[in-house]
Structure 1
Amino acid sequence: MNRLIVSPSPHVHSGDSVKKNMYGVIIALLPALAASLWFFGLGALIVTLTSVVACVLFEFLIQKYILKQPASIGDGSAAVTGLLLAFNLPTNIPLGIILIGSAVAIGIGKMSFGGLGQNPFNPALVGRVFLLISFPVQMTSWPLPLASRASYLDATTGATPLSVMKEGLATGRPFSEVMGDVPSYLDLFLGVMGGSAGEIAGVALVIGLIYMLWTKIITWHIPVAVVGAVAAFTGVLHLIDPAAYASPLFHVLTGGVLLGAIFMATDYSSSPMSVKGMLVYGVGIGVITVLIRTYGSYPEGISFAILIMNMFTPLIDKYIKPKRFGEVIKSKA
């Protein structure tokens, strides 16, 4: 007897899968990884390998011995978390702190909520913020590029451009004068500045963005909304008082704006689903980032901004919904 089986849509498979997208993100991160290895050398290699291996190992152990689930480390999501966590760390940070951050990122940020696709917060940022609060000295000791390639724990350290700018403006020095103490805009874009392993080279991050847009791993809405909001907000402040506030280009090229906008804010499970929701979410991240940078005690704010907007994602999805196909519009007549 022939049976007619009817299944819900979609009926045509696009070919996408979690594994394909995760490994696509890893490919997109390779230019930034290459830049970090060039500028920081041994330290970047040790921090990245430790973070990736630790995240994969912790996910395997939690699934096997605590949750009693089949291991899913082959889908690449744990490796992505490890890479992103490493990209948010100084390249001279001790191994023990990396292991703690990896355990928090995977154990608390991801697996405690049920694993991949169920985490409301970006796991790598959960680990990063936990380490920043718990180990503020180690998390704000930044190796200088090129000068630290052959060393790890004994790397030459210095302040980031954001820290130099914030301290300089706080003392009443004009922006144009403080810019003389930081690298040029070109150097900032190429990565010749102090900072975490993955945030320094804007050109490498943009290459990764182009790849993910081309392969349709992400859409442009969140990255453009985040960067656009940062540029617009800081642009208004700079126009009001050019001496007291840094330029929009400086804010976009320094810190983790590009890394956060391209790779962290676009996390599937912690970002909105609709186009309008993505734009609202991205603008919120940009505005909060500038508020923290300008008026808060931290020179950087992108990590906190993304986690804060992660909390609002369910509300955004609830109140900003795409039009339903086949929806009946009732006439008022």
Structure 2
Amino acid sequence: MALITLSSPHTHGPNSTSNVMLTVILATLPGLAVATGLFGFGTLVNVLLASATALISEALVLKIRKRPLAFFLKDNTALLTGVLLGLALPPFAPWWITVLATSFAIVFAKQLYGGLGNNPFNPAMVGYALVLVSFPVQMTTNWALSSQMTGSGFADIGSTLSAIFGTEAVDGVSVVDGFTGATPLDAYKHLIAKETSDVVLQQSTFNGWLNGGWEWVNLAYLLGGVFLIWRKIISWHIPVAMLAALATCSLLLGWDEDMYTPMSLHLLSGATMLGAFFIATDPVSASTTSRGKLIYGAGIGILLYIIRTWGAYPDAVAFAVILMNFAAPFIDAYTQPRTYGHKKAKRGLAAKKN
């Protein structure tokens, strides 16, 4: 009598890759909404452009590899990469910056390694790092100022589209020049070298504290991140460890606000919360063990503070994440938990022998 044998698991949960990626995308919407409401339409345009580029790039590579398009495109991983890049790039970045960063992320950082589950580095951050190193002027001078900072609202959709896709100018001066400026992290880092913190914080970028709108965007991403933890899409280990390490470094090493960026700016400015909850937690390139996630997240926080404080870049989420992607396999190898039936965990080279 023939017996039917089936391998485990025999039950299936609702959390497919497609649903997980879609949930992460939905969790970014509060941050996108606040960014659009305070800084204008640039981020929204970038998200739409990057998403379209990601899907087209993925489809072209899948076609070349003779893989089924619908099966891989509907997992929403390429779409999530596009969304994260669109959120991270400067709102007034030229269209070709967005297209180049996104296509490079999909083609070289993801598909070149074999597609989903095989990429050792976070694709979105690889694409971001490429354009940041290659085009530093475009990546550091096209950040939008919030309506609170300009005092006159933000650029309308027509001017935004012209700035991104064309060269709208009057007498050689871009119409959106009055709506762009340095980020709070960049401004504080350069101004504090010549002024005291009291003087710097009175600039329009800060107006006594943060105020420039960045704190609300970061709090919106924090809200989305808490939602992901509540839905058990991500665990708390990486974001909490990253934020705790960043805050600790700021308290221990940067306590003098007349010399270093204050902790409030580190936590509520730049891409801190976006990086902590949506980028560092990438399930493929991040550490996977519970203890390893704490080490991995703390490493990102420490590197983030070091690069921001003594490096050439005011925000360094991309570089911190990529560097810790290198270390993730090593961390996992030495933080393996004890398996059932064994007295102690087998880690490092000992685990490889079996």
Aligned to 1:228: 244
Amino acid at match of 1:192: G
Where do residues 1-333 of structure 1 align in structure 2 (5 Å cutoff)?
1-5=1-5, 7-8=7-8, 10-64=9-63, 66-71=64-69, 72-141=72-141, 142-146=143-147, 147-150=153-156, 151-152=159-160, 153=163, 154-155=175-176, 156-171=179-194, 173-181=195-203, 182-183=205-206, 187-188=210-211, 192-193=213-214, 201-239=217-255, 241-328=256-343
Aligned mates of 2:144, 2:258 — CA distance in 1: 29
Report deviation, 1:78: 0.8
Structure 1 residue runs without a partner (length 5+): 194-198
Per-residue displacement from partner, 1:69-90 (whole Å, max 9, x unpaired)?
1121111111100000011111
Asked if the contact 2:210–2:265 (Cα under 8 Å) also holds between the matched residues in 1, the reply is: no
Q: CA deviation at 1:246?
A: 2.5
> Could you tell me which amino acid in structure 2 is paired with residue 176 of structure 1?
D
**Cα shift readout 1:114-166 (whole Å, capped 9, x = no counterpart):** 11111111111111111111111111121212343403114221111111111
Contact 1:288 1:305 in 2 (8 A): yes
The alpha-carbon deviation at position 180 of structure 1 amounts to 2.0
Change (3 A) 1:329 1:246: closer
Paired residue for 2:350? none
Secondary structure in structure 2 of the residue aligned to 1:14: coil
The CA RMSD over aligned residues, in Å, is: 2.0
Deviation string 1:221-255 (CA, Å, 9 cap, x unpaired) is 1011111100000011233x342122212211111
Alignment-mate amino acid for residue 230 of structure 1: L
- Contact 1:39 1:149 survives alignment (8 Å): no
Distance 1:213 1:276 in 2: 17
Aligned residues: 319
The residue that corresponds to 1:196 in the other structure is: none
Q: CA deviation at 1:293?
A: 0.9
Q: TM-score, normalising length from structure 2?
A: 0.85
Match of 2:167 in 1: none
Deviation (angstroms), 1:68? 1.1
Offset of residue 44 of structure 1: 2.5
Query: Shift of residue 41 of structure 1?
Result: 3.0
Q: Note the C-alpha offset of 1:105.
A: 0.8
Deviation at 1:37, TM superposition (A): 2.0
1:3–1:318 Cα change, 3 Å: same
User: What letter corresponds to residue 148 of structure 1 in structure 2?
Assistant: F
SS where residue 202 of structure 2 aligns? helix
**8 Å contact kept, 2:59–2:73:** yes
Shift of 1:317: 1.1
Instruction: Provide structure 2 residue ranges, at least 5 long, that are not aligned to the other structure.
Output: 148-152, 164-174, 346-354
4+ runs of 1 displaced by more than 3 Å? 10-14, 184-188
Deviations 1:16-39 (A, max 9, x none): 211110011011011111122212
The question of whether the paired residues in 2 share the 8 Å contact of 1:185 and 1:250 is answered with no
Helix, strand or coil: the match of 2:258? coil
How far off its partner does 1:301 sit?
1.5
Q: Which amino acid aligns with 1:145?
A: S
Local SS of the residue matching 2:270: coil
SS of the counterpart of 1:183? coil
Q: TM-score, normalised by structure 1?
A: 0.90
Q: Which amino acid aligns with 1:36?
A: A
Q: CA deviation at 1:183?
A: 2.2
Residues 75, 184 of structure 1: alpha-carbon distance in 2 compared, 3 angstrom cutoff: farther
